[in-house]
């Protein structure tokens, strides 16, 4: 893929009312939200007052040593609502993967995550938590790939996983969901004869074969949370998706242009936040 195309996509992605409402949880989330504030962007920022998500009824949370199960209260609320909606639709229990660290910020060297900095991103595994996982299994998750390395559907490209992705788009706080290009292509085909407007939020991206990465929009309580542009209009099933499957064009004049990424500097407010102050 060409660098210019990557940049365009990166700048665009810089990442129904619910049937089942839980008044007590919503109330708690609203109350907790008061102490929480986000600074910066999804891939360069931090969060004060993040809340941990722990395993509960009809879902489990993967256990990572460093504690990556923190999020803005709106993200915690999103997960709970998704669990409720999925359960109401008869889907298996959900398996929740990476969110953010306690105060957000980068995951550090060696991590595959470029984002997850501000408590608004959550990875939802394409493995399910039915039957319920043991502690050992939660510490050693296995990858369930919906598409193979050539982006072709596997036996795990099932209607219930497709429905899980569709259900996640129904929350108005969800701005984008990143999945592998082959998954987006499969969804475009699967829902060819029905309403595909929800697919606007489902964005093709590298990786993301074994989980979907859900990103919420900046919440109202965080004026320093840097908003992203909304996804392009339309369901994204046409030209844009096709471009992911075309071989990259050779660079003009046969010369390779290599742009060195600039080192990231966290927003000033994050110095205090990351020290737990």
The residues that touch Zn ion, with contacts defined as CB under 5 A, are 123, 213
CB neighbourhood size of 9 (10 A): 19
How far apart, in whole angstroms, are the C-alpha atoms of residue 43 and residue 46?
9
Which lies closer to Zn ion via its Cβ, residue 180 or residue 196? 180
**CB within 8 Å of 17: residues ≥ 6 apart:** none
Q: How far is the CB of 94 from Zn ion (least distance, A)?
A: 15
202-204 vs 174-179, strand pairing mode: parallel
Q: How far is the CB of 207 from Zn ion (least distance, A)?
A: 8
**CB within 8 Å of 226: residues ≥ 6 apart:** 40, 41, 45, 218
Which lies closer to Zn ion via its Cβ, residue 143 or residue 189? 143
* Residue nearest Zn ion, CB atom distance: 213
How far apart, in whole angstroms, are the C-alpha atoms of residue 274 and residue 1?
35
Which lies closer to Zn ion via its Cβ, residue 61 or residue 196? 61
Q: How far is the CB of 92 from Zn ion (least distance, A)?
A: 21
**Helix residue ranges, H only, 140-254:** 159-169, 181-190, 239-243
Residue of 21, 31, 89, 29 whose CA lies nearest to 53 = 29
Q: How far is the CB of 64 from Zn ion (least distance, A)?
A: 13
Q: How far is the CB of 55 from Zn ion (least distance, A)?
A: 19
CB neighbourhood size of 50 (10 A): 28
Cβ atoms 42, 121 nearer than 8 A? yes
Which lies closer to Zn ion via its Cβ, residue 123 or residue 127? 123
Q: How far is the CB of 116 from Zn ion (least distance, A)?
A: 6
Give the DSSP letter of residue 215. Answer: E
Which lies closer to Zn ion via its Cβ, residue 72 or residue 196? 72
Q: How far is the CB of 114 from Zn ion (least distance, A)?
A: 9
Which lies closer to Zn ion via its Cβ, residue 212 or residue 225? 212
How far apart, in whole angstroms, are the C-alpha atoms of residue 187 and residue 181?
10
Cβ atoms 96, 43 nearer than 8 A? no
Which lies closer to Zn ion via its Cβ, residue 157 or residue 205? 205
């Amino acid at each position: 893929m060409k660098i210019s195309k990557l940049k365009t996509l990166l700048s665009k992605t810089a990442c129904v009312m619910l049937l089942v409402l839980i008044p007590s949880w919503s109330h708690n989330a609203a109350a907790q939200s008061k102490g929480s504030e986000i600074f910066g962007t999804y891939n360069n920022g931090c969060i004060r007052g993040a809340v941990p998500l722990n395993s509960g009824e009809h879902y489990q949370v993967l256990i990572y040593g460093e504690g990556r199960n923190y999020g803005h209260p709106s993200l915690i609320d999103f997960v709970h609502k998704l669990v409720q909606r999925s359960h109401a639709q008869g889907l298996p229990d959900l398996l929740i993967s990476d969110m953010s660290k306690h105060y957000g910020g980068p995951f550090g060297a060696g991590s595959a995550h470029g984002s997850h900095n501000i408590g608004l991103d959550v990875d939802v595994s394409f493995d399910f938590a039915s039957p319920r996982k043991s502690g050992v299994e939660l510490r050693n998750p296995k990858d369930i790939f919906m598409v193979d390395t050539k982006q072709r559907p596997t036996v795990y490209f099932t209607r219930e996983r497709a429905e899980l992705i569709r259900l996640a788009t129904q929350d108005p706080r969800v701005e984008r969901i990143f999945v592998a290009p082959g998954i987006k292509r499969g969804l475009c085909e699967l829902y060819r004869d029905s309403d595909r407007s929800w697919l606007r939020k489902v964005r093709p991206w590298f990786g993301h074969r074994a989980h979907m990465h859900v990103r919420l929009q900046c919440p109202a309580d965080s004026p320093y949370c840097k908003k992203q542009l909304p996804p392009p209009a339309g369901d994204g099933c046409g030209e844009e998706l096709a471009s992911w499957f075309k071989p990259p064009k050779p660079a003009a004049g046969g010369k390779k242009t290599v742009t060195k990424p600039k080192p990231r500097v966290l927003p000033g407010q994050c110095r205090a936040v990351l020290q737990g102050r």
